[in-house]
Chain A
């Protein structure tokens, strides 16, 4: 465990070297948030209503959405893992007594921890100003954190799997882009998934993507109530992707020919 702690600390130190990126990402997300807010305000000022969402409800949805984006999607996992395999850097890890997936999780966690320090204050301010609009309570925030952790791991494992697909495909830039596009949309990052046509919404209810954005936000805003079935569903999907990533890595490493070193 100690070796992973060192990786975690190193990752924080690396992140501090690139402070510009942290501020630039924040600027990015705030800019897109501003635009989306204008879009929704324009629609609601015309007297329209989107589904059963109030204007404030939609804006809060996208504020939390941006917070999740800043935290769980801050590193391009598939690209990082894919490049390490393609360029042969992964050999360095294979020769050491460390697990590559654990190493990556701790590296990623360090980076996210550093970002969290910046963004948590903004998020707390938003929560504070939203107190009048929503039934935020400590229990909901606690459940939100649990589902945020599930969201983080499901997202990480999916893109880790895309990354280690480099063992088979050699280059996964296209696959990464395709997956990012689909996941962004179907996880509820563009629109809450309960606004989708009913057939698509029903399909999304079966699939795990809703756990990445829609479920954590809906738990926080009270749109969804916490239930054991919802929680166990998320944990099962998380374990499924974890096992799948272990399986694909084991198979892939057998056919891996280290090139590029």
Chain B
């Protein structure tokens, strides 16, 4: 029964991605320019790091290649967030347009449906760029006999990071139920998570570092996964990442259900 349910969710997700792709393909040139735009944005980010390292040898202990690993990890998470659920763009858009009713009356979990309502296929370019950077930054990776295991741990942490970013998005964007114009909610989550493209080791004040490790766990989005590739396995960090992913997901889920109770339709 559970397996069938799971299959149904996966199927709906893929249908959502297919529809998003078809929507984008209605304006082919726009899609390709968008993909070029995403690529340009990624290249400019790399140039930023490159220019920075023209003046410094390392950034709080991270070499150029290692700093790029953090950037690539962030790109990977950002790319997956946009490509698979458009950073929950479906939620704010449907509330503003008054079309959320159509989603919440469907016989499937409303949070799931609103999450997969839209995906931006051009953002796979971020994931591809990130993979390319990984191939160029092998010098920064700790190549030892545990490399394969470290990659497995890295992928688990990447999954946790995805859950954390998704949950932060859901927590912030659920505010749309109380706010009339939600366009600023977009940039809030984007700017908060964008911080994680820099190693959180730059926060030398203990309070700020604690803030970005627990309350807004940006450290676990890119810095901690990249650390596993650079320095190897670290049990406390691994467990913290799993714990935070669970806590954030459960909290955002509860907040979503709470927000939904306050939703008053604008369409009828």
Q: Which residues of A contact B (CB under 8 A)?
A: 17-18, 20-21, 24-25, 27-28, 31-32, 35, 38-39, 41-43, 45-46, 48-51, 169-175, 177-178, 180-182, 184-185, 190-191, 195-197
Contact = CB atoms under 8 A, between A and B. Distances in A.
A244 to B, nearest CB: 20
Contacts of A41: 202, 204
7 contacts: A24-B185, A39-B198, A42-B201, A169-B30, A175-B37, A178-B34, A181-B37
Contacts of B250: none
B267 interface: no
B195 A31 contact: yes
Contacts, number: 114
Contact of A24 (B32, B187, B204): B187
A175 B33 contact: yes
A38 B185 contact: no
A35 B193 CA distance: 11
Interface string B17-39: 00000000001011111111110
B31 A50 contact: no
Contacts of B38: 177
Taking residues whose C-beta sits less than 8 angstroms from the other chain, chain B's interface range is: 35 or more
Given A28-B187, A48-B55, A173-B34, A185 B47 contact: yes
Interface in B34-74: 34-38, 40-41, 44, 47-48, 51-52, 54-60
B77 to A, nearest CB: 17
Nearest to A178: B37
B184 A21 contact: yes
Nearest to B208: A38
B51 A174 contact: no
A21 B180 CA distance: 10
Centre residue among A25, A169, A171, A174 by max chain B CB count within 10 A: A174
B179 interface: yes
A48 B38 CA distance: 32
Contacts of A35: 195, 198
Contacts of A27: 188
A195 B187 CA distance: 27
Interface of B: 27, 29-38, 40-41, 44, 47-48, 51-52, 54-60, 122, 179-181, 183-185, 187-188, 191-192, 194-195, 198, 201-204, 208
Given A43-B59, A170-B27, A195-B51, A178 B180 contact: no
Q: Which 4 A-B pairs give the minimum distances between C-beta atoms?
A: A24-B184, A174-B34, A174-B33, A178-B37
Contacts of B203: 38
Given A35-B198, A43-B56, A174-B31, A18 B41 contact: no
Q: Is chain A's interface secondary structure helix, strand, loop, or mixed overall?
A: helix
Given A24-B185, A175-B30, A49 B55 contact: yes
Given A24-B187, A28-B184, A42 B27 contact: no
A235 to B, nearest CB: 28
B30 A20 contact: no
Centre residue among A17, A20, A180, A196 by max chain B CB count within 10 A: A20
A51 B185 CA distance: 36
Given A45-B204, A46-B60, A20 B195 contact: no
Contact of A185 (B36, B48, B54, B122): B48
B191 A190 contact: no
A20 B191 CA distance: 17
Contacts of B56: 43, 46, 48, 50
Nearest to A172: B30
Given A178-B40, A181-B41, A17 B59 contact: no
A21 B203 CA distance: 28
A251 B50 CA distance: 42
A17 B35 CA distance: 35
A190 B180 CA distance: 31
Given A28-B187, A35-B198, A48-B56, A174 B208 contact: no
Contacts of A17: 180-181
A180 B27 CA distance: 20
Given A17-B180, A175-B30, A182 B195 contact: no
B59 A42 contact: yes
Given A28-B191, A174-B36, 19 more contacts: A18-B180, A21-B184, A24-B187, A25-B184, A28-B184, A32-B191, A38-B203, A43-B52, A43-B55, A43-B59, A46-B60, A169-B27, A169-B29, A170-B27, A171-B30, A174-B32, A175-B30, A177-B37, A190-B44
